[in-house]
Amino acid sequence: MTKLTALDNMFLLMDNPEQKMHILAYVTFEKPRQCAENYVEKLVEEIRQNPWPLPHYNQRLHRSVRTLGRYHWVNAQEVDMNHHVRFVRLSGIGSAQEIRDYTTDLHSISLDYNRPLWEIHVLDGLENKDEFALVVKVHHCSIDGVSARNVMEEVFKTDPNDVSNADMAAKKMNQKRHSSRRPPIASRAARLKAYWKGLGVIRAQIKSGETMLIPPAGAVPVTRFNQIVAPTRSFSTTSLPLNAVAEIARVTRSTINDIVSAIVGTGLRRYLEEKGESVKKSLYATMPISLHTEDDLDQSNRISFCAYSLGTDMTSPGEQINVIRQATERAKKQIGGVPQSVLYSLMGVRILTLIYKRLRGIREVNPRTMTNVLISNVPLFKEARYYKGSKLLGIYPLSLVMDGIGINITVSSYLGNLVFGLASDKTKAPDIEKIGDLMQDAFDAMKAAILNQPLRQEAWSS
């Protein structure tokens, strides 16, 4: 048995019929030339025989009196691969919208806790008969963005002729051989001293209101997304050219994450204003920060979170980016300046609160303690990738929608494009694709203001 970490438990405890703690991605492929008519059906059987090496792919959750009621991972005695890997022939025209609708509906269905917490749905019958799609669904208690990327790097090959199955054991051994020499392990006394010192630093930052772990009191405007979420989901995608985003980052001496945050913030602010919500204070975002090392890339959650201003109260893109850059630099410095054990113990406090609320049947949130959007960035591949001879065309993520932070925007990168997956509660963003359109407008205005490129549509407006 393997005990779940504090963060894994947090995602498990947060799961309920309305707030589902699983993540999805749909992946599109171009079939190999002159492939057999039943190529996709054969691929389904091959995946069943050689399942993807997702963390805990052959384990299920278990708890008992012996485990004092705590969840552990145990080996599943039998894994029904017909349940976990499914062939689906779309009944409509197989358009991109139909794939998104299928993915959205799948997000609304909870995973079975009596089985390993993952599914792969293989979709055929697309509008373009030379293409097919996969929809991958995994519970967040068993995976995060970095561990998911680690799996995809092994599953999707750089050689179109490489049809071998993923070998995570060999991959991990190769990573260890090429990793730098590990620093010496500090003594227990030294680690304990560092822990108490780091905890003191965090406590002082929280007391002074300078911590980046939570937003400043009273700073965050309350919007439609800071409420309890409904079980239905809305989902849309949009994309931006990576080279132009990187050039804006270079000119402004910021990061791609900073530029993405500015684009998301402006698009979201304009959407709320179109809905009649005046947002005079800056919107705030929550962003996960990876705590993974080279030795635990195949494990589940190793992340912390920071809260930062999106600078949406600024009057120009340059000013907005500067506000975000200063905030994210400060967050990285604060989180990197304390031992990971301190960050995990703070999550333990969060878990105790979740347990109390679950026992009492409480779902209320205080919207003034939440941020307005969760933004996550999982960089993927610069080069073309292939799966069993099929060319990977795109990866589109759909991530967590939570009580109090009812919109999630996850971005990945592939072949020179940043691809955004926008997910929300359908009652709060039924026209979520409009946010993507407004992000495109914000990007155009940013290019005009910073790179002196002509506008496609309206100029920056405050």
For residue 166, the SS3 value is coil
Token pair of 387, please?
A: 């799966």
Residue 195 main-chain phi, psi, to 5 deg: -65, -50
User: Residue 355 is which amino acid?
Assistant: I
Q: How many CB atoms lie within 10 A of CB 42?
A: 12
- CATH: 2.60.40.1840, 3.10.450.50, 3.30.1440.10, 3.30.559.10. Which one for 2-163? 3.30.559.10
Strand order across the 72-75 sheet: 2-3, 72-75, 59-62
Residue corresponding to tokens 């800071």: 226
Q: Tell whether the torsion through CA atoms of 186, 187, 191 and 193 is positive or negative.
A: negative
Domain residue limits, the chain: 2-163
What secondary structure letter does DSSP report for 72?
E
DSSP letter string, 216-231: PTTTSPP-TTSSPPPS
**Per residue of the chain (462 residues), what is the pLDDT tens digit?**
788 887 888 888 888 888 899 999 999 999 999 899 999 999 999 999 999 999 899 999 998 877 777 888 999 988 999 999 999 999 888 898 999 999 999 998 999 999 999 999 999 999 999 999 999 999 999 888 888 888 999 999 999 999 999 887 776 666 665 555 555 666 777 777 877 787 777 778 777 677 777 888 888 999 999 999 999 999 999 999 999 999 999 999 999 999 999 999 999 999 999 999 989 899 999 988 766 666 555 566 667 788 899 999 999 999 999 999 999 998 888 877 777 777 767 766 666 676 677 767 777 888 878 899 999 988 889 999 999 999 999 999 999 998 999 999 999 999 999 999 999 999 999 999 999 999 999 999 999 999 987 655 444 443
